[in-house]
């Protein structure tokens, strides 16, 4: 079993790195007038495909009224569009538009550029170890249902 002190340190390190990475992306979001919640919604839609309001609520852990307001703002901003399902017209899903994809690409590119700057002096071995261990950690985390 892992040492408690190592676990504490790992959690703190991941939390700090995550906060710094999000701050890096915020500058792009501010310039595009997109909130963090909108960005997270766009990420969910890109990752899982078109989402209904119910799916969006579950993925973002927000109330349905919040998701509906969020969808309204994103649609007004030209980030997404609501599309009715052909088989059941009562079902409406959010689809990414090109501006939504561009916003995601811009933030992700800024974050990747930042990471590249941070690790530019790493040796090949250090880079490979960081890549391997972070990938393994992410894979293990994804196996645990939240």
Give the contacts of 130 (CB within 8 A, at least 6 positions apart): 119, 122
| pLDDT at position 100 | 97
Q: Is it the case that residue 115 has pLDDT exceeding 90?
A: yes
CA neighbor of 104 nearest in space, from 80, 68, 73: 80
What token pair was written down for 94? 């959010």
Q: Is it the case that residue 146 has pLDDT exceeding 70?
A: no
| pLDDT at position 1 | 53
Beta strands in the chain (DSSP E): 51-52, 80-84, 92-96
pTM for the predicted model, two decimal places: 0.84
pLDDT in tens, 4-62: 999 999 999 999 999 999 898 888 899 899 999 999 999 999 999 999 999 999 999 99
Q: Across the chain, what does the average pLDDT equal? A: 93
| pLDDT at position 2 | 65
Q: Does residue 55 contact residue 48 with C-beta atoms inside 8 Å? A: yes
Which DSSP helix (H) or strand (E) runs through 97?
none
Between CA 28 and CA 77 the distance in angstroms is 16
User: With bands split at pLDDT 50, 70 and 90, how would you rate the model's confidence at 90?
Assistant: confident
| pLDDT at position 48 | 94
Residue 82's SS3 state is: strand
Q: Among 2.30.30.30, 1.20.120.550, 1.10.10.410, 1.10.10.10, what is the CATH number of 26-130?
A: 1.10.10.10
Listed by start position, the domains of the chain span 26-130
| pLDDT at position 75 | 97
């Amino acid at each position: 079993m892992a040492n408690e002190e190592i676990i504490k340190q790992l959690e703190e390190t991941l939390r700090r790195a995550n906060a710094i990475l999000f701050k890096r992306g915020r500058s792009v979001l501010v310039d595009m007038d997109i909130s963090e919640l909108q960005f997270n919604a766009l990420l969910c839609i890109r990752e899982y495909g078109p989402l209904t309001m119910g799916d969006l609520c579950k993925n973002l852990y927000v109330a349905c009224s919040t998701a509906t307001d969020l969808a309204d703002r994103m649609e007004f901003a030209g980030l997404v569009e609501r599309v009715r399902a052909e088989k059941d017209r009562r079902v409406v899903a959010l689809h990414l538009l090109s501006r939504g994809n561009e916003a995601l690409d811009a933030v992700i590119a800024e974050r990747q550029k930042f990471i590249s700057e941070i690790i530019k002096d790493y040796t090949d071995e250090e880079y490979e170890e960081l890549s391997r261990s972070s990938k393994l950690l992410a894979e293990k985390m994804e196996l645990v249902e939240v």
